[in-house]
Structure 1
Amino acid sequence: MTSVDRCSETTREWVCEAVRIIEADANRSADTHLLPFPLPADWGVQLYLKDESTHPTGSLKHRLARSLFLYALCNGWITEGTPVIEASSGSTAVSEAYFARLLNLPFIAVMPASTSTEKIALIERQGGQCHFVDEPSAMYTESRRLANELDGHFMDQFTHAERATDWRGNNNIAESMFQQMALEPHREPAWIVVGAGTGGTSATIGRYIRYQSMRTHLAVVDPECSVFFDAWRDTQPDLTGCRGSRIEGIGRPRVEPSFVGQVIDRMIKVPDAASIAAIRYVEGILGRRVGGSTGTNLWGAFQIIAEMLAAGREGSVVTLLCDGGERYAHTYYNDEWLAKQGLDLDPHYRVLAEFFESGTWQ
């Protein structure tokens, strides 16, 4: 009889220690606050924001990066010294660079040459390297090429996001959310509203709702240059677009493998100007700046709340505060950038003003 031993004791010890390090990070920082958003008490509807900006790397993508690293470690794809490569110019790359540094692994983010200097600095601050391509569509091919050349691992967030997260529980975002709602007036939300980038968050929440036999509905908001909404509405999973999303962190020009449309009850298309108007409008209410994807979430949540009020329904709605607005000082909070993009916020300001004045959605 012939046998082959592919795993040395040294390798297994390293992997065990790597898992411990990542779980220790989760033990320190996995949960985030659930913040009530101030709405008129007589509306009978409560809105809550799950504040993911308080993670060590400042965004919702910290959860994803942790899950992707654990998934890769437990599948034997990452061992001591393995270079980790990801196709990302945004928050995922920042978070993955953080975990790679915890494990003393090289990390390379493959990104378009047009990526802002602010995002590059965030990735490099976490110990990552940035590798540039001229065309955004070349990121995936170049990531695979680098992984092969360096004998590394291409993390591939858009393929593995929905399967890397334990959707049954294990303090995932859905379980945390529902546990924090336990003592609220309407403990089981009528709606949860999230955006889709990889699709991993919506898949996790949608599956968890069904697994726990809850009546909560899941709404996914989609920015204007993304194809998720049209593909879901028309059942066209092979649909592709020609532009990237202006709302960082959500929206894709193709339907990613981690997008599970069957767990979604409703999708809402949100103009980019509406997303940005929302974050600027609520700055005075929240006393802080938030990122564009949070604006997309809020626009969808406000619309749903107005519909609940019109129907005479009470209840709760939960959405995500995905990251802070300090990353977007030169874009969403910059009037010159808005003008160059041709974005007019005034019509959307009027919709928001009417909503907060009367609870109606025009």
Structure 2
Amino acid sequence: MSDNIVIIGGGQAAFALSAKLRALKDERPITLVSAEAVPPYQRPPLSKKYLLGEMEFSRLLLRPEAWYHENGVDLRLATFAEEIDRAACTVRLQDGTLLSYGTLVLATGATPRTLPAALGGDLAGVHVMRDKRDADHLSGALLSGRRVLIIGGGYIGLEAAAVARHRGLEVTLIEMVDRILKRVAAPETADILRGVHARHGVTIRESTGLARLIGRDGHVCGAELSDGSMLDVDLVIVGIGVTANDQLAKAAGLDVANGVIVDAYGRTSDPAIYAVGDCTELPYGEGRVRLESVQNAVDQAESAALAIRGEPVAYVPRPWFWSDQYDVKLQIAGLNQGYDETLVRPGARDGAASVWYFRAGRFIAVDAVNDAKAYVTGKKLLDLGRTPERAILADPAADLKVLLA
């Protein structure tokens, strides 16, 4: 059997795993296979500073291409894996190349959901936002004065709205359910961000879906909404979530649910195959979850590297996320799934606030809007497994440091 470690995927998790193995002095050959034509890079700035033209792509690279050569990582760009043969321990690439592995790691990420052709999803001018190619295509379309329709009121849609307004476009955002951020945040957080976007001139229409897009000469030019109203549009950005890239794993007979099922060490149902990052469903608390975040991609990948090295340490997720919109930084610690109580605490300066989540009396998450102190305190409390006193939280004059004493 080969001792080669093959990593399928070219994102943050793939890089983090290869870098951690080298930091652990693992000298086995590593082959990293990426469908993209560029080395692994940071994705979050793509929809923010890169799209605004405030950051060169070279600054997004996790390491220069020379790093891979210097560290013995065989970087295969602009190619992808088509099939895993678990019996032979090989991966077949699209050009027919067979890679033998002793350990295989799936870091295949996720793919944005798109609109079906029946709704006009195949028209030119309809965009999604996930990778560099998406950002480059979208950047050329974000011209001042144009009219953009954003479909989806999650974080991707709201971030896209902020960038579009910054670049001078007329923005309408539609959300088919009764409020923005319904799946990921409390009404109080949604209210804060809805107000922010309203002040910046974004039209948000909730309880409004898309009936169809209208094209002219193959390019989108309008939209019919679920309430029968019509919009003239020059481009459309679709932000309706992502799906795990688990097709390769499923075809190979690995256990798959909402992503590739892994244990606390990143191991799949095949002991020779690991999976990390956005493509995985992993243990969390008493259940399982799929976490789409840089933090999880890095931490889970580094934990898997330890297991591959023979030094297993169970990965206990401590989720945190962030979103930048205009001059607003939203920082989130924990997961609010199943919350049954919230408490809103005003921040120390105008526009700052935090929303604290509880489930069965226990503190589980915090959303901090321009309130770094609330975020840091909440994150530390979660790490310590503590539930803060409501009276202190509810008193805007109280010092949050008391909660950590």
If the length of structure 2 is used for normalisation, what is the TM-score? Answer: 0.33
Kindly indicate which of the two structures has a greater share of residues assigned to helix. 1
Tell which structure's C-alpha radius of gyration is larger.
2
Looking at secondary structure, tell me which structure has more strand per residue. Answer: 2
By relative contact order (CA 8 Å, sep 6+), the higher-ranking structure is 1
